[in-house]
Amino acid sequence: MVGVKTTCKDRWRQVLSEAKRIKEKHIMTVQQGISKKQLNEMKSAGVQLVVPRDYHGQYPRSDMRLLDIEEFVSLVRKRLA
């Protein structure tokens, strides 16, 4: 499951309700940075964040590993193979 949101401040929680039965949830966004608290909340909820590689430096260090678009596409391709 991938939710695409321009910003993911509190909208990432929508993905939780939209995909209750899906274990792995991803959010793809072009938002340039969010708080460490939000990143940790996403990780605790099982949501993986996908952002363009150029934006990774604008995110705080967190326990959550950010995926870039290419990594996400590669992950999907491996699972479909």
Query: Which pLDDT score is estimated for 48?
Result: 93
- Tens of pLDDT along the chain (81 residues) come to 788 888 887 788 888 888 888 888 999 999 988 999 999 999 999 999 999 999 999 999 888 889 999 999 999 999 898
What radius of gyration, in Å, describes the C-alpha atoms of the chain? 12
Contact 72, 26 (CB under 8 A): yes
